[in-house]
Amino acid sequence: MSSNSLHSTLDVPLRQDASIIALVALAHASSHFAHLLLPLMFPLFVKEFGFSYSELGLLMSTFFVVSGLGQASAGFAVDRIGARPLLFAALAIFVLACCAAAMVTGYSGLLLVAALAGLGNATIHPVDFTILNQRVSTPRLGYAFSAHGLTGNLGWAAAPVFLATITRLSSWRAAYLAAAVMYACILLMMILQRDKLSTRAAVRHPEAAREHSMAFMKLPVVWWCFGFFLLSTMTLAVVQNFSVSILTAMNGVSFEAATLTLTAYMLCGALGVLVGGFVAGRAASSDRVVALSLGAGAVLLALCGTGLLGPALSMAVLASTGFAVGVSGPSRDMMIKRAAPPGATGRVYGMVYSGLDIGFAISPIVFGQFMDRGWYGATLIGAALVLSLSVAAALGVGRRTGS
């Protein structure tokens, strides 16, 4: 039973737990939506501004460098002042980022948008997991993690439909203004339901604070978790940032069909997370579930990169890759939970998930070079090889946690 939980038994009404889970899940979906604010528009930015894919990749590197640095710090802030103020700040920053995107006139403006969106994204994971661990009954925590991962994928899936539809009906600037309104509505909802989002700051004895605040960083398992997130998300960054462009250039599909394929990938990922929640509840070894599902995803992604499948089958296989990766999600979160020492939830999640941001930051720079050279198939195959390396990292975490 978690020592961090404010409610640890099933005498808590299901409705109360469900409300908390729903609010946190919505916040998580909104942060995943923000991951795609810029990359979905890359083909349009190439036409309108003449940017290279390396320049566009640097935008996402900026997003995730800011997010990664902020996320590691946000974990300490969440433990010190609680999660709710940082959640409100994140959503307000997303509103500003979308408004700035609607008014952008060049590369410097897009860099500002990337930095703002990255800053908003920085607090989400330590905030979300701190609220879930403290406010949700321990027996329902596995369902909370599953819902959290599921809605993250739904946020990714919603972004292409939302932004591409409004862009087609009006313009990409109007799409960003609509996204700003959406974030403002989510922020208002969170404020109205703020009593369900309060958390307790970690209590420390003053004489022990200096000694223990960074002690978790001495644990090897934390760094194995960090490495796992870095490697696995380098592959996800390729899918998010370049799959639309790869499908249009390599397979000759339309922009609308390519964005729908990305949406299908995210929806299949959401279904995978749902299935993975049941798998995680029954599997004896979380690390093996993660390794098997990510290994299958790597094989499917490599098949897409061969160019042998043709347009329709490439889109179908790429979408099914999302399911294989999604199955790993709940088991992954259980691995991280077991790696977090008592009283250090925010800090551990902040540090570990900063590996996610660094992976997202490195990947566009590396694979943007591939894209500029027209190595579209090699981009997918390279992403598959990196994903296979994350399998070894997951098994390394399992050996150190008994997960």
Using a pLDDT cut of 90, give the percent of the chain over it. 28
**Higher model confidence: residue 189 or residue 394?**
189
**Higher model confidence: residue 7 or residue 23?**
23
Q: pLDDT band at residue 303, thresholds of 50, 70 and 90?
A: very high
Give me the pLDDT at residue 279, please.
78
320 pLDDT exceeds 50? yes
C-alpha neighbours within 13 Å on the C-beta side of residue 137: 13
Domains within the chain, CATH numbers bracketed? 14-197+216-401 (1.20.1250.20)
Mean per-residue pLDDT, 183-198: 92
Give the pLDDT confidence of 207-222 residue by residue, as tens digits.
444 445 555 566 667 7
The whole-angstrom separation of Cα 301 and Cα 325 is 11
Residue 265: Cβ-neighbour burial (10 angstroms; 0-12, 13-18, 19+): buried
The whole-angstrom separation of Cα 402 and Cα 3 is 20
Q: pLDDT band at residue 33, thresholds of 50, 70 and 90?
A: very high
Tokens found for residue 38: 């810029």
Quick one: which H or E segment has residue 127? helix 124-135
Mean per-residue pLDDT, 176-188: 97
The whole-angstrom separation of Cα 121 and Cα 183 is 13
Give me the pLDDT at residue 258, please.
87
192 pLDDT exceeds 90? yes
Sign of CA dihedral 378, 270, 177, 71: negative
Rounded to a whole number of angstroms, the CA Rg of the chain reads 20
Give me the pLDDT at residue 346, please.
62
Give the pLDDT confidence of 375-396 residue by residue, as tens digits.
998 999 999 999 999 888 877 7
- Chain mean pLDDT for the chain: 82
Mean per-residue pLDDT, 281-296: 79
Using a pLDDT cut of 70, give the percent of the chain over it. 85
pTM: 0.72
